[in-house]
Structure 1
């Protein structure tokens, strides 16, 4: 059953009520990573947690090389800070790399294709980033197979091994950049943590629980796909930085100190209506999403359970509907699908939020 009290605590922890971070880089660093397969959505997710709430600030951080996207875990693209993407990927990406490699023969590809793609990419991107289309064209010109998903597979392989990242904004997407020239130095697991995986897991776990809590070790294990054994080895290093609830099922939840008191002081503000992107961490950051909605509502949020999430309307710590942007660029309108009815006052609030929403295109 939905748990609005838990939902309101998570809204406050995630910065969606108070927007506590001055810049998108600070917000993303606090989270460790934000799920980012919907690029306009994750840019909005970062903006909605900052003081300005402006998508332009997120785009500026991409262009300056402070924020990038990579494939650090679960074979999924995430928005991250430039100094975190390499060590996090080295720490967490191995299962996704193995899964991708096992699919390679079905595409008629092998490791030699990946190495040839790497050589072409390093040369092509040595001076400046290129769009995905331009990079794949370079591979085709070099005789590499790129049709029917092969180009995307090669790109994914080189992002997984941190040769490449998604870098600056080109107006509609991110160009592909060479990590060696686009990312800062001192970014590897060896450089940041002297190769100590436990210390690196502890850093990720601390950020996750501070930004997502109340949450459990199993939530973090689902989010990263790290093993429970490795996570539990790191847990003693972070427990002192957190508050905890033993939990009725024996699995304690952890959260940042003072969160409960802050949510109480915020009162109604923690229950105010919000418009969130489809892949926001509030919905996708936990193993179980049913704290925020019923199974039937979840089916409406993710039709056909196909992995494509609609944009959510949140109120009172719960997902109470979905929303869409209708009309042409000159006359955009808010289109609501309600799970729970909105009062006229609540609808007026949603219209104001829609007008101020950090869209990246007209």
Structure 2
């Protein structure tokens, strides 16, 4: 295995190449969790892994509760399928609360405050009465909480991690943007979905799904992505290999051990950069928190660039890929009934590269349902 194999297999296993997922839901089930703090771009992360899902398709799945958006893993915002959230939260909640411990103390959230606020929040959204962050703040304030700034943020996050709240039906703001609402966890998440009731079962499932969807990757990559310890990931990997010895393949590159789907080996299963480029390079516009970036830590360098990165002055921060490697950055501006894309590459990609970028812009406009042009 060489660097080109890593890029080729990651593109394939993440469904940025064929065969694509049949729906945004299926793409999410493959990836298990997708970072989603920038909701407009996170919709695209799911849709571009399908045969043609639109922004409206993703929004509908979120509104229906098939796709939930909540704090989990590390923790930050993630899309998680409703069938996976309960067992995934059971596995990760203790470490999330532990990691948030300093902020809980800083904001005065002790056990009594957490318990009392959880009851208030649960009562506020019970019976399908989904509420925005601002509405929840008012409910907490009525019961004596300051519910502002970091205290509000961590009271709500504590309730999410504790299985009290999850995402509800988004509402439109006066400017037309979708706003997150919160719902009662037990009303949105099936009580017994996939049956991973024991920690060892959940651990094995997380590790299995991670390497099948993001391999080739290392144990450290999985640990940093999941927020679990390296010891836990090694334990989960051992359970997977014991139960299904043929499901994963191991290979060594750059002195690191990589694991990936045994079914994904070989050029027949995952066409390489050369095959993708028969008519020129293939360009993908991915968000800076896409799983092709955030799915890795120790081995992110195969991306060929520094991402995610904070924008400098007026610089876009999302990622332009050419045959799986970073060549620039982009962002969108929505105004006047159309989408303008600011795309900047490190060097002139040449005529074929410009054609590939134009094709990617067209695909993005199709996803949004509005004309898209390059600035």
TM-score between both structures, scaled by the size of structure 1: 0.88
Partner Cα separation in structure 1 for residue 239 and residue 211 of structure 2:
13
Residue 265 to residue 149, structure 1, CA distance change in 2 (3 Å): closer
- Please give the per-residue CA displacement for 1:37-68, whole angstroms capped at 9, x wherever unaligned: 11122211111111223122111111211110
Q: 1:324 aligns with which of 309, 328, 331?
A: 331
Match for residue 35 of structure 1? 35
- The aligned length equals 351
Q: 1:355 aligns with which of 358, 362, 372?
A: 362
Contact residue 244 and residue 252 of structure 1 kept, 8 A: yes
Partner Cα separation in structure 1 for residue 289 and residue 144 of structure 2:
37
RMSD across aligned positions (CA)? 2.6
Partner Cα separation in structure 2 for residue 361 and residue 167 of structure 1:
26
Match for residue 292 of structure 2? 282
Partner Cα separation in structure 1 for residue 179 and residue 192 of structure 2:
27
Match for residue 218 of structure 1? 220
TM-superposed CA distance for 1:177, in Å, is: 0.9
Deviates more, 1:75-84 or 1:332-341: 332-341
Contact residue 65 and residue 168 of structure 2 kept, 8 A: yes
Residue 259 to residue 173, structure 1, CA distance change in 2 (3 Å): farther
Match for residue 146 of structure 1? 147
1:290-309 equivalences in 2 (<5 Å): 290-294=301-305, 298=306, 302-303=309-310
1:15-26 equivalences in 2 (<5 Å): 15-18=15-18, 20-26=20-26
Match for residue 92 of structure 1? 92
Match for residue 318 of structure 2? 311
Match for residue 272 of structure 1? 282
1:199-218 equivalences in 2 (<5 Å): 199-218=201-220
Partner Cα separation in structure 1 for residue 295 and residue 38 of structure 2:
15
Partner Cα separation in structure 1 for residue 369 and residue 127 of structure 2:
27
Aligned partner of residue 74 in structure 1, secondary structure: coil
Partner Cα separation in structure 2 for residue 96 and residue 202 of structure 1:
19
TM-score between both structures, scaled by the size of structure 2: 0.85
Contact residue 246 and residue 252 of structure 1 kept, 8 A: yes
Partner Cα separation in structure 1 for residue 331 and residue 258 of structure 2:
37
Match for residue 176 of structure 1? 182
Q: Which runs of 5+ in 2 are unaligned?
A: 173-177
Contact residue 243 and residue 255 of structure 1 kept, 8 A: yes
Higher relative contact order (CA closer than 8 Å, sequence separation 6+): 1
Contact residue 92 and residue 225 of structure 1 kept, 8 A: yes
Partner Cα separation in structure 2 for residue 126 and residue 350 of structure 1:
47
Residue 144 to residue 9, structure 1, CA distance change in 2 (3 Å): same
Q: Which runs of 5+ in 1 are unaligned?
A: none
Match for residue 353 of structure 2? 346
- Please give the per-residue CA displacement for 1:213-246, whole angstroms capped at 9, x wherever unaligned: 1112221111112222222222234332122214
1:246-265 equivalences in 2 (<5 Å): 246-249=252-255, 251-261=257-267, 262-264=269-271
Match for residue 73 of structure 2? 73
